[in-house]
Amino acid sequence: MKKFVLIAVTTALALSSCSNDQEFDSIQTKNKEIDFRSFIDKGTQSRATVTTGENILGFTVTGWWDRTGNNDITNAANAGDEYLFNAFDINRREEGVGTWSYSPKRYWPAADIIEGGISFFAYSPASSKNVTKDNGLYNYKGNELEYTVPDPSRTEAQEDFLLARTGALKTDEPVELNFAHALSRVRFFARTTQTNLTYVVGGVEMIGLQKTGRINMENIPDKGIFSYNDVSTTSTPVIHWTPTGTTSDLGIDIGESPINLLGTSGSKYHSLQGETNALMVLPQKINNFQIKVYYKAYLNNPEGTYFAGSKDKYEERSFTVTDNLRNGDFPFEIGRQYNFCLQFGDEVGDEITFSVEVGDWTDNAPIYTPELTDYSSLISDDFKSTNTSVISFVDAKGNTLSPALLLDSDGNTKISKEELRAVVGIIVSKENFDFKGLEYFENLEFLETNKNMTNIDASKNAKLTVAKFYGNSTLGTVNLSNTALETINFGTPTFENLNLSNTKIKGYGSSGEEINLGAATVTGTLNLSNCGLTTITTMPTDAAKVPAMLDLSHNNFGKCTIPDCQLNTLDISNNPSLTDLIFKPKVAASSEALGSKIKIEKVIATGNKSLKTVIFENTNYNGIYLKEVDIRDSQYLEKFDVRFSVVDKLIVWKGYTWTEINPIIQTANSSGRGKINGIYAGETLLGRSDGGTNSKN
């Protein structure tokens, strides 16, 4: 019996930093106002991992004025120098349209009083929650900035973290912020040389990485382009980060659908992460760097003899990746991309070898679909049913495809890639349909069912634009994230969890472009993060079916109005353009129970540095009750008007004193009173407010 091992080829690609035609912003001196403008036209939103001049939404900037001309930023607070910007968020109101905006405005000093000029330091995305709060750009004095690379998961996304700085400047010259990619980027590809074995990849992990590090921003090139040493020599790698903390493993999220590989003549490498996904890694140098692969291999026959792993268990294989030119250490350099190419199917005896090449940072690797003559073993029997009461397929012209499409001339089930590609719509009419293999319908544009289901994962169907869940059905976790989804319609279904993150959703529960979150019941998490949302018309109101979490984070709300709702947790964090948060019932309460119109256990509104006002409108006599409201990153808050409502705990910016927060808090007006039982600056209790009477703790 032949044995099979894993061959790895490592390719390191240079990350193409922001070139001159991708210069993001300019600060002009017209009318002495410091203005941020874009050099290039902005296109539609890109949902790739990579940030470009077209899809950058905002950045956080500190601008330091060297009043004394000693060019000593480390003594900025003591030498008479000052900050023009101190960790300001600069945001685009609507991606692709208009100019960068911020408030309050900052102005250039008169030209005749500038001595040393002004230095700017910036990072993107704005208010990244992965920047350590006490080691960010607030009161930045040339010290190191600290950042933690998050694990990719269903609840936490990685980001393309960017850094920029400028030198000393005069007010009559434009200030260009050219951002550099500050992390390393990793992609995994795989192929097999075997035509009679199927390989199933269940996961890939990099072992022992450090995820937290500090960087001196003086090391960031002012043109956004790093200079690299020759990778074919023993030259010192370009890292710039100093890792801190403990090590842990970092792996790709294959999700619930493992990757199947079957070789053909001249089989090419295919991405294990889809068309655009990648892993972000903290730049560092690792000794004894290892990659672990989880895989199975079985013979393509009816018996399906396993050569590696088993039907219910993956085999684990670890191997070391080294750079012999650098004493065995493997470096992840800042701003570079690394492609790890895994080859399955070679016999024992071949040495594990590595090659290194340099090229551009690219996202053009094709999404993986195995090249097979028959896909029937990869999809469920339900998909192969010829009974139209189980499933119907629709082609690009709207015609119903004959079930005989999946039968060969002998009447045996056989499915080709061409048959899978012909399907653009699937209508499921069977209880608890088995959706195994859904990802292989690569041209799927709409999905419809009115039956009870356990779980549905369509997150790899990149072209899916419409989903319909009719009838009084009960469903488990439905994952439609990372698709082109624009519309989702309902009868009266109940979901355990519904994930619509990273989509282009425009219509939810409505035939038009309306977001009606009360159209379906979600008892767990309803995730609408990073969907470009600007308006919510209706929220969940049934207290008996309260979602555990409604996630509206990382959207484009400017003025967000929350209507009648009953929620456990509302996450509206990291909306960089959010200035006004309004809680407004459609009809005012009248001497009703506490929270009869709007009741939310916890409102998470962190990361919203542009937030100015929080207002409770159109309510009487306890109509709105919020147990906890967290706006701790809103440094420029102007008004928190509770009116007739009740907030148990309000968390504001930790820099506020009682004297500063006192005039901002309003709990009384001409016809009523509200209450805040505790006002906290971070973790410190400052006081409380009741009917217009503010009491210091």
Q: Which residues have a Cβ under 8 Å from the Cβ of 78 and sit 6 or more positions away?
A: none
Residue type, 255: G
Q: Which of 432, 418, 323 is nearest to 373 (CA)?
A: 418
Which pLDDT score is estimated for 547?
Answer: 87
Q: Among the three residues 178, 208, 241, which one is the final residue of a domain in this structure?
A: 178
Using CA atoms of 532, 553, 477, 492 in order, give the dihedral in degrees to the nearest 10.
Answer: -70
Angle at 609 between CA 607 and CA 613, to 5 degrees: 115
Q: For residue 595, what is the DSSP state?
A: T
At 148 the three-state DSSP class reads strand
| Distance between CA atoms of residues 364 and 116, nearest Å | 45
Task: Tell me, yes or no, whether 453 lies in a domain.
Answer: no
* Residue that is last in its domain, among 144, 159, 178: 178
Furthest-apart CA atoms within the chain: distance in Å: 90
- For residues 174 and 207, state if they share a domain: no
> Which of 232-241, 426-435, 603-612, 637-646 has the weakest average pLDDT?
232-241
Q: What is the pLDDT of residues 367-380, one digit of tens each?
A: 333 456 677 777 88
Question: Are residue 339 and residue 388 in the same domain, yes or no?
Answer: no
The pLDDT > 90 percentage for the chain reads 33
Q: At which residue do the structure tokens 């895989």 appear?
A: 295
Per-residue pLDDT band for 465 (boundaries 50, 70, 90) equals very high
Is there a single domain that holds both residue 151 and residue 220?
A: no
pLDDT at 97: 42
- Which pLDDT does position 692 carry in this prediction? 81
Please tell me which residue, 176 or 6, carries the higher pLDDT value.
176
Whether residue 277 is found in the same domain as residue 404: no
Q: How many residues does the chain have?
A: 697
**pLDDT, tens only, 425-453:** 999 999 999 998 898 898 999 999 999 99
Q: Which of 74-88, 302-316, 596-610 has the lowest mean pLDDT?
A: 74-88
One domain, residues 332 and 400: no
358 in a domain, yes or no? no
Within 10 A of 50 (CB to CB), how many other CB atoms are there? 17
User: Which CATH number belongs to the domain containing residue 192 in this structure?
Assistant: 2.60.40
Among 197-201, 222-226, 250-254, 557-561, name the most confident range: 557-561
Give the pLDDT confidence score for residue 434 in this predicted structure.
Answer: 94
Confidence of residue 532 (pLDDT cuts 50, 70, 90): confident
| Beta-bridge mates of residue 474 | 494
The predicted model gives 113-134 an average pLDDT of: 83
| Statement: residue 493 has pLDDT above 60 | yes
Pairing of strands 684-690, 675-681: antiparallel
Residue 317 buriedness (CB in 10 A; 0-12 / 13-18 / 19+): middle
Which of 328, 347, 366 finishes a domain? 347
Interval 28-50 mean pLDDT = 34
Residue 405 in any domain: the answer is: yes
Residue 690 within any structural domain of the chain: yes
Sign of CA dihedral 381, 387, 389, 395: positive
| Residues 131 and 207 placed together within one structural domain of the fold | no
pLDDT at 24: 25
pLDDT tens sequence across 137-173: 988 877 799 999 988 875 667 888 999 887 756 655 6
Write out pLDDT tens, residues 413-425: 678 888 888 999 9
Q: Is 255 domain-assigned?
A: yes
Tell whether 594 is covered by a domain: yes
Mean of per-residue pLDDT scores for the chain? 78
How does residue 521 score in pLDDT terms, banded at 50, 70 and 90?
A: very high
pLDDT of residue 233: 65
CB 491 within 8 Å of CB 469: yes
Question: Are residues 58 and 32 part of one domain?
Answer: yes
Residues 399 and 486 in one domain: no
pLDDT at 503 over 80: yes
Measured distance CA(175)–CA(11) in Å, rounded? 37
Instruction: Give strand ranges (E) for 179-281.
Output: 180-181, 184-192, 197-215, 241-251, 259-262, 270-271, 279-281
pLDDT band at 69 (very low <50, low <70, confident <90, very high): low
Tell me: do 689 and 661 sit in the same domain: yes
- What is the Cβ-side half-sphere exposure of residue 26, based on CA atoms within 13 angstroms? 13
Which of 192, 131, 117 lies closest to 344 in space, CA to CA? Answer: 192
CA dihedral 276, 277, 281, 285 (to 10 degrees): -60
Based on the domain organization, do 171 and 189 belong to the same domain? no
pLDDT at position 557: 92
- The answer to whether position 556 is within a domain reads yes
Binned at pLDDT 50, 70 and 90, residue 215 comes out as: very high
Whether 74 has a pLDDT exceeding 80, the answer reads no
Q: Nearest CA to 480 among 463, 505, 450, 500?
A: 500
Q: Of 27, 26, 88, 22, whose CA–CA distance to 51 is shortest?
A: 22
Determine the structural domain holding residue 107 and report its residue range.
20-178
459 vs 478, higher pLDDT: 478
Structural tokens at position 570: 């509302």
d(CA 278, CA 18): 18
Residues 494 and 539 in one domain: yes
Say yes or no to pLDDT of 312 above 90: no
Domain annotation covers residue 456: no
Total domains, the chain:
4
Does residue 614 sit in the same domain as residue 662? yes
